[in-house]
Structure 1
């Protein structure tokens, strides 16, 4: 699959070997109703190599969904690596293990699956939703998102209405949604007029969708 993506100038100046830069400087933003967001900018250095591997090696598929009286294309490509599936880049194994270790006391279990979404340009998006088809509907849990490629805005809003917040996720950034976030808040990646390709990898515990 061929894409056009401006390689990171920061990575070019430092190293092309992918590496994690640590989680000690992660900053937490409390939301309402026991929800929170953790942010770690530039968590992945050398992220260009990971992005290229994801584009080429993930078995991307297009999905469709029923909307009113017609079937429409889902505006992004997707693939999910289930527990035990080999991941497409060794750094993702390291990332999953590092997240599991860092959040062990709060989460009480490891991250085991990796959902991948490929936003090919600004027309690709994801509508308001919570990852609440499994245990996230009833229990506090976490979803950790690592972003590769062009920056995109992640919006969050309380379920039932309220003031929304947004975070711009850049190349190699980490965002973790925790506490009650999946059942008391919703999140979305809106369409935008100008954006290049971006891939998000969402690490989840068992039975969280």
Structure 2
């Protein structure tokens, strides 16, 4: 897999203190954004491309089986993460959001968008406790910028958050059950990795 870290922002030596900007949505949902949060983002990206055991999946879609348009890997509870910066990031997120979330982030789902053809359709993380309870999903984005779209489930205008190299986006409150999110296909895009930190039993 070819990639060019020279296209990405220069790294700071360490993860910046957490000071995200919050956008309040409807129905108790919100989104936090902090730009260029993850330190050593180039090194984290290279390590993940080379060392994460990426795999392709297929899913039933109506009357046929289709390929999932991205590569995947899940680090479950207690599994070591592929780069120390990611472990530090999860600890920092757990400490910062503990007063609201009431529990730590314990898993890390990873998606590898190889180019602009890879995507994820509209959905909410509602398998598990996210179906009935407020929760959080914290996303660290690495690589080429891609748009995260969000729209209310009951209908209404969507909003877009561009996720750049090392950026942090946290969806919280009722966001997973009252809003949906997607990463659409893009005409021209290089590789991108998304790391989604979640609490226990949120998928």
TM-score normalized by the length of structure 1:
0.94
2: CA distance, partners of 1:76 / 1:10: 23
Corresponding residue for residue 5 of structure 1: 4
TM-score normalized by the length of structure 2:
0.97
Number of aligned pairs? 203
Corresponding residue for residue 164 of structure 2: 170
1:151 to 132, 135, 145: 145
2: CA distance, partners of 1:93 / 1:59: 18
2: CA distance, partners of 1:170 / 1:131: 22
1:21 to 5, 16, 22: 16
Runs (4 or more) in structure 1 with deviation over 4 Å come to none
Is 1:8–1:48's contact at 8 Å kept on the other side of the alignment? no
CA drift of 1:9 comes to 5.9
Which secondary structure state, in structure 2, belongs to the residue aligned with residue 49 of structure 1?
helix
CA drift of 1:160 comes to 2.2
Is 2:39–2:85's contact at 8 Å kept on the other side of the alignment? no
2: CA distance, partners of 1:135 / 1:3: 38
Is 1:79–1:115's contact at 8 Å kept on the other side of the alignment? yes
Aligned-residue Cα RMSD (Å) equals 1.1
Is 1:150–1:170's contact at 8 Å kept on the other side of the alignment? yes
Structure 1: segments with no counterpart, 5+ residues? none
Give the direction of change, closer, same or farther, for the CA distance of 1:182–1:83 in structure 2 (3 Å limit).
same
Is 2:8–2:143's contact at 8 Å kept on the other side of the alignment? no
